[in-house]
Chains A and B, each alone.
Chain A
């Protein structure tokens, strides 16, 4: 058997793929965070809660309204996005002119409130949600059993990440958005509704988190705690990638997913800290992050 770093090549490839799957979630979540931070300068601590809400909308939709998984992929981001827009319009937008700390505290409080509410109604041990029939089962690759659903997650997340990146970096709307954050008053003087743009941006970020939540629902328990388990890692991803860098968030998401996956083979006990070790090293060597612009 061929060995690589002392483990069979089969196992190595398997773990690489598993890392990539986790990386897909990190990428999708950190993308939303990066969009919100890059354009609104808000550190959105409620991101994990919005991810959790996405999963719950899918679960509740299926249970009470019979909304199938495929429809939930569209419905949940819309619902959570609309909720995000409401929060932004009524509360968050009032904090833009204050110290960024206020936004952070506000979203953190929002996250705790949402989690607490869901825990009150649904308990901590979570709710079941199954993958749609078309995506159940597994493909037998030469080196591992790959659940079809996981393959779908990689593809879906890659497509969405690229689409959002293109939307912001390559389209006219994206250019307007970026301009609006650089110089709001100038852009407004061209007759563009800047507050509306900012609301839409926050809704987009929240919607992306919800989409990740729906994708995660069949893999993890739909639990009020699912967001707080993952959000810290996602913040580390954004910091390593460079705050506000959209491409950085995507690439780093996949990279750190793989790094974590491999750690689970070589030294599993360290798998929950490896990302933070990498973060510390990156911050020492490149304080602006891998893809950030040096201030």
Chain B
């Protein structure tokens, strides 16, 4: 019985899709958005990124080379093993052509390795480690939005120049935290500053008072928060409580986006320096897209969500230009085509997969200066992409000789 049903379904499918595309495998392009949808980074990317990907598909027209485009998504719960299992299933049995977003560095590294093995394209917007385009780079791996080097150059560089020449780090105890601390410490030292100490805390710590006391007694001028999401929010909130900022120490949230500022509220977040590669209220194109995004999600996008839109669009354009969805050809097209959209005005993709575009140094507004619900940033400086990101030949990526 089941066999007849399957046969009937197959027949129906064939009849229903008369114009089955010749150049696209399985007759459709399927993009998987894999990220944290229920944990500490659920607002950082989460369902917002899924919506951004769907917007890209709709803006593209819903079809490429006559084949329909489909977006699927799953929650990896920040666990590399769960993520790998989902990715494997997507590639092996569900005809997914590429996986994107991949918040959390450990997850991104695992899925990128798997994608390379399966010869599939992965495009990371949500993870930070430079290893993705460094020693763990893949010929089919791409990294959009930001990385720890860009954050370090932006926030780290700006604060040292403003006189914050001694640092104490509060570092999340996993790949991302180490990478962020290393990169920032490197920039601080390069600019003549010193690192007086660091303490590693477990992911999803709720109470930072012990660590903050250590930071306080270190006497460092800047307390660098090499963590993300809810961890950074709690650390900032509690730093105010212990009088860290009132005592003259400056807080540097090394990875902090609009979503977290929104959650923290301007009262607590005001005066923070941070780096993002996107701000909705920067120009007409960003405002137009962001307002459409807000109508669908009720929120304004941060750089992760905006970059996911940009990445999906670039991928689809590359398939169209290559005339096929075959991995080698699409990856080559993605690298040779400049990125020009509402996210990146002058973006380019390096040989190691790094997409280079400008990043912005922002300062969070005081409540009195904010004119509306999402009016949170003043753009203090534009850091050109070439300064923000490592050059391909310095990235340590074995593909670049």
- Most chain B beta-carbon neighbours within 10 Å: one of A15, A149, A225, A230: A225
Asked if B213 and A272 make an inter-chain contact with CB atoms under 8 angstroms apart, the answer reads: no
Interface assignment of B237: CB less than 8 Å from any CB of chain A: yes
- Report the bound CA distance from A147 to B243 in whole Å: 8
CB neighbours (8 Å) of A221 from chain B are: 230, 233-234, 237, 263-264
Contact with A along B9-38 (1 / 0, CB 8 A): 000000000000000000000000000001
- Which of chain A's residues have a CB closer than 8 A to the CB of B262? 125
Contact (Cβ within 8 A) A261 B268: no
In the complex with contacts A223-B230, A225-B40, A261-B210, A123-B241 CB distance below 8 A: no
Known: A124-B40, A144-B213, A223-B230. A149 touches B241 (CB 8 A): yes
Q: What are 18 of the A-B contact pairs (CB < 8 Å)?
A: A11-B214, A18-B207, A18-B209, A18-B210, A22-B209, A124-B41, A124-B229, A124-B230, A125-B42, A125-B263, A219-B241, A220-B207, A220-B237, A261-B210, A268-B173, A268-B199, A269-B202, A271-B210
What is the distance, in angstroms, from B370's C-beta to the closest C-beta of chain A?
A: 14
Chain A residue nearest to B198 in the complex (CB)? A268
B51 to chain A, nearest CB (A): 13
Which residue of the partner chain, among B43, B173, B201, B202, contacts A123 with CB atoms under 8 Å? B43
Given A124-B230, A128-B263, A144-B213: 4 more A-B contacts, CB < 8 Å: A21-B207, A125-B43, A128-B237, A229-B204
Q: How many residues of B contact A (CB 8 A)?
A: 43
Give the bracket for the number of chain A residues in contact with chain B.
35 or more
Q: Is A119 among interface residues, defined by CB-CB distance under 8 A?
A: yes
Task: Check if B39 sits within 8 Å of A225, measured CB to CB.
Answer: yes
Cross-interface CB contact of A138 among B200, B201, B205, B243, cutoff 8 Å: B243
Report yes or no: B233 in contact with A125, Cβ–Cβ below 8 A: yes
Closest chain B residue, CB of each to CB of A233: B206
Of residues 115 through 155 on chain A, the ones whose CB sits less than 8 Å from some CB of chain B are 116, 119, 123-128, 130-131, 138, 144-145, 147, 149-150
Q: Does A265 contact B (CB under 8 A)?
A: yes
User: Which of A14, A19, A22, A127 touches B263 (beta carbons < 8 Å)?
Assistant: A127
Interface residues of A (CB under 8 A from B): 8, 10-11, 14-15, 18-19, 21-22, 116, 119, 123-128, 130-131, 138, 144-145, 147, 149-150, 219-221, 223, 225-226, 229-230, 261, 264-265, 268-269, 271-272
- Shortest CB distance A144–B (Å): 6
Q: Tell me the smallest distance from the CB of B101 to a CB of chain A, in Å.
A: 15
Is the CB–CB distance between B268 and A125 below 8 Å? no
Can you list, as one digit per residue, whether each of B260-294 has a CB less than 8 Å from chain A (1) or not (0)?
10111101100000000000000000000000000
Task: Give Cα distance in the complex from A149 to B299, angstroms.
Answer: 32
B211-249 contacts to A (CB < 8 Å):
211, 213-214, 216-217, 229-230, 233-234, 237-238, 241-243, 247
- Closest 7 interchain pairs by CB? A128-B265, A125-B263, A124-B42, A264-B210, A125-B43, A272-B202, A147-B241
How far does the alpha carbon of A213 sit from the alpha carbon of B121 in the complex, in Å?
A: 45
Residues of B near A19 (CB, < 8 A) are 210
Q: Give, as a whole number of angstroms, the nearest-CB distance from B173 to chain A.
A: 5
Q: A15-B213, A147-B241, A221-B264 are in contact. Are A271 and B39 (CB under 8 A)?
A: no
